[in-house]
Amino acid sequence: MNKKRVVVAMSGGVDSSVCAYILKQEGYEVIGLTMLKSPDDFKQTDMANGANKEANPELDIVYDARRVAEMLDIPYHTIDLKKYFKEKVIDYFVNEYVSGHTPNPCIICNKYLKFDALLKEALAHNAFYIATGHYARIQYRGSKGRYILKKAKDKAKDQSYALYRLSQFQLEHTLLPMGEYTKKEIRTIAKEANIPVASKPDSQEICFIDTDYKDFIKHVAPEYIVAGEFVDKKGN
């Protein structure tokens, strides 16, 4: 496989866009990729005002990612992971939540979906590496003969916890340029390079939830929402 070729996961945000930019500046042959994950039958609903967002929110992601790819003059395409995302991530999230547990869908997605899909695409394009906009660092420790995951330079933005379940094989083939920068530095790079999404706000929530958790579960798994009664210790 070509060690100077890398498949970059592009979400249309500033981090993944600068990730692609930095790697190209470092001499890598960069291929941009967006993974489509929201199921077609899932209409995100704004419960606060009752407005239904009929348009697929991923259209904006693809639009922004494609703009960045064109600006960087790199090949770009999308892959459909909707079926697998529902099976691996959304179903897990719902089952954990209704069981009284606190799910972390990002960890599950990274381990069993995102990085596997990226590596398959890398193999298809004869690329040795994949890359994401995560704030974390990977280091090979020769004394132990293994790769280790380390916190990012920007401790406030560190995302190493979300990658802790990655395998040695996945770590070996992953580049994480963001780990060596602060968020402020990334914003500066984006603006100086005239990247189209340089001023785009950071995403804060889980990617497939546009409202609060209970509204999401009520929408995708209404069978779990059952009316009940509040009673005191005396049974009133």
Q: Look at residue 165 and give its three-state secondary structure.
A: coil
Residue with tokens 């704030």: 135
Out of 30, 89, 94, 109, pick the active-site residue.
109
- With residue 214 as reference, give the H or E element that holds it: helix 213-220
**Residue from 109, 117, 54 nearest 86 by CA:** 109
Out of 79, 207, 209, 221, pick the active-site residue.
207
Cα torsion angle, 149, 192, 66, 199, sign: positive
Q: Is 19 a catalytic residue?
A: no
**Is there a contact between 35 and 78 (Cβ–Cβ < 8 Å)?**
yes
Q: Is 207 a catalytic residue?
A: yes
Q: What is the 3-state secondary structure (H, E, C) of 57-105?
A: CHHHHHHHHHHHHHHHCCCEEEEECHHHHHHHHHHHHHHHHHCCCCCCH
State the catalytic residues.
109, 207
